[in-house]
A and B are shown apart, each in its own frame.
Chain A
Amino acid sequence: MALFDYAPAPENRDIANLKPHYRPFINGEFVDGNGEPLKTINPATGEVLAEVSTVDTTDIDRAVQAARNAYEKVWRRMPGSERAKYLFRLARLIQERARELAVLETLDNGKPIKESRDVDIPTAAAHFFYHAGWADKLSYAGYGPDPQPLGVAGQVIPWNFPLLMLAWKIAPALACGNTVVLKPAETTPLTALVFGELCQQAGLPPGVVNIVPGAGDVGAALVSHQGIDKVAFTGSTEVGKIIQRQLAGSGKKMTMELGGKAANIVFDDAPLDQAVEGIVNGIFFNQGHVCCAGSRLLVQESIAEELLEKLRYRVSTLRIGDPLDKNTDVGAINSAEQLAKIRELVASGEAEGAERWTSPCPLPEKGFFFAPTVFSGVHPSMRIAREEIFGPVLSVMTFRTPQEAVTKANNTPYGLSAGIWTEKGSRILWMTAQLRAGVVWANTFNRFDPTAPFGGYKESGFGREGGRAGLEAYLDV
């Protein structure tokens, strides 16, 4: 037993105000959906949290119609300064109910409470605050004197940051004068539906925001619906491609934020201890369920051994367990399906001859957990170097020169993010110009801010979210 054994410090789950039933939010009201109800579970225990009524195509029709009415009759005509008031209200309501939303997010998703409390919810509020500020200043955003909204947006979001991805989608859409129909992920619908309550609390006109829970078929029906003008999707590259095929020729505007296989590149003159922190944060933050995760570590050969030694020690101090415990660093894998995928890819890494090191940390007996794992001796041809694992698994490769680092980093069909660790400013600038990635972090990783545009190259998608650039996705420019 450890000398300094932290006693369990669980957050009170009652704060989540969990209800037995959740219903779709259409035209300002919670209504029964006509789809098969789904049960959402706590991935840390396997217990059923709640039953969620889902929508079918007739409900989607109603939601899209409600959004259309709200768009034509209210929202597009409302002065930006008035729309801003609603967005500010939503931001404040997220802050007011932050603790409830954080606990609910952790229960439904499996992420540690310290992340939902300190990252997800505050950043979601920040996105509303930021975009509230834009609502009456769109004429000065650089898109012409009077940029117009697109209409009704159909939005489909993933399960890794449920409320935060909702904020990334809804805040800019509303600020620009669009109305939305949003489908939360099948395994994590709860905070999105509570967001419906916030819309009611804020007095948002009915139909401006509609939340339609369901599985992939609901998403497919939503994005191909005749009544929407714009599709925003965050999720896997596989599904992104299907949506693009479906929408080809439809004239609908699209933004896609898809998979990634980011390189975190550490040079021999890097601040080593902080690089170790950045590597850990890059791949073990949110159990590695991050599209921009630094899942490939490229380290200069001359310091590889020393860095790996430091990294293994640091990773072994990560605490894996009950996501509600305030001292938990790595929580539960979101679903049995995702856990199986991670295991399959890890097995392939072993079979292909990479050297596996797994943290000796104890794992809970129940629920979906995977111990942080580092593969060294990885070659670019291995599956663990090419495919997105979306789990707490790091693949380590080495390089000798900056050019080799760039070549290896760019050698992927993805291009979402990258990290550079060096104290040499000129090298950071040179690397940034060479790397084909939408976001490049220098001496940090996985930092998100509503003022900074986020998005990908190549198979990681197109369009930007956040910042001035993110407004373009919701304006007719």
Chain B
Amino acid sequence: MPQAALSGLDEATRDESSLRRFLDGLPGVDQVGVEQRAASLATRSIKKASKLWALNTAISMVDLTTLEGADTVGTVRSLCAKARQPDPERPDTPRVAAVCVYPDLVATAVEALEGTGIGVASVATAFPSGRSNLAVKLADTKLAVESGATEVDMVIDRGAFLSGRYGAVFDEIRAVKQACGDAHLKVILETGELVTYDNVRKASWLALLAGADFIKTSTGKVQPAATLPVTHVMLQAVRDWYTATGELRGVKPAGGIRSAKDAIRYLVAVNEVAGEEWLTPRLFRFGASSLLNDLLLQRRTQLDGHYSGPDYVTVN
């Protein structure tokens, strides 16, 4: 972003045309270059003590998620039990960062996690499509927050973004942020629908300007979901935001991260693109469900010196 524009971030959000000028003035992202860089960082070899550290850190960054139409009070309670004690035979295993559910199940999760310090995140704003009016989206948010959600994962209006109505997207994020109160706001860009890296960068800045505490890649309902290069672009955005404002904002890749190996690649990217300040659940999360069990299995492998099978970790 041009230095001059950075010094006037307030100026950027003054009105729709300033916002457009600012976002369109951001430097482009070269597709070949960013994919090459992501592929090259993915060849880092993380072994031994550093691997165990990465596995523990990744577990502590998981937003353990269930977002199915078939979710019930029972499945959410079972997921919360898993969040509290990911590996019952290894009580020193770190707890996950949060459990992520639909708004109507927030109360169940809050009750099940009481006193654990584990966050309850709720998707909101007509997740996953975001296709509704503002009143409904705010009511959705309110339901989540009033039920006790400490974190809200909202979706942006991709239709508005792609048709160039940046102001509408901005205002909506602002309004949801306000409705969140003390709850942390994660803004889902749904990068699989934005398609280009230029759009991902613009949407990242738009969300950061509107007050997102986190920018999140995907709902998990659209393919492709999280990818390494997309996460690179978003990590670069929060680093640039920090350089410009001194504020630390978070990133959450979600969807499609299933193996510990992948998770470690993301951590390497966090470390080398954003910086080691971001290596904390306060600033980096994985939106995932099956990832946790692979992290647990790999953690056991590191500690026991041999592999164990999938039946040695619990199903949710």
Contacts and interface: CB of A to CB of B under 8 A. Distances in A.
Indicate, yes or no, whether A interacts with B.
yes
A278 B3 contact: no
- Main secondary structure, interface of A, reads loop
A274 B50 contact: no
Interface stretch (A3-11, A50-58, A128-136, A193-201): A3-11
Contact of A274 (B3, B34, B57, B276): B34
B48 to A, nearest CB: 4
B126 to A, nearest CB: 33
A305 B3 CA distance: 9
Contacts of A277: 33, 36-37
B70 interface: no
B37 A4 contact: no
Given A273-B27, A273-B236, A309-B243, A4 B33 contact: no
B53 interface: yes
A278 B47 contact: no
Contact size class for A?
A: 20 to 34
A4 B276 CA distance: 7
B33 A278 contact: yes
Among A4, A5, A269, A278, find the residue whose CB has the most chain B CB atoms closer than 10 A.
A4
A2 B57 CA distance: 14
B44 interface: yes
B120 to A, nearest CB: 27
Interface string B104-134: 0000000000000000000000000000000
Given A7-B48, A7-B50, A273 B43 contact: no
Given A6-B46, A326-B43, A271 B27 contact: yes
B276 A6 contact: no
Nearest to B236: A273
B127 to A, nearest CB: 31
Contacts of A423: 28, 30
Contact of A444 (B3, B33, B272): B33
Interface in B35-55: 36-37, 43-51, 53-54
Interface string B20-37: 000000011110111011
10 contacts: A3-B271, A3-B276, A4-B279, A7-B46, A269-B28, A271-B30, A326-B45, A423-B30, A443-B32, A444-B32
Given A4-B53, A271-B27, A443-B32, 12 more contacts: A4-B267, A4-B271, A4-B279, A6-B47, A7-B46, A9-B47, A271-B28, A273-B34, A277-B33, A278-B33, A306-B3, A327-B45
Interface of B: 2-3, 27-30, 32-34, 36-37, 43-51, 53-54, 57, 236, 243, 267-268, 271-272, 276, 279
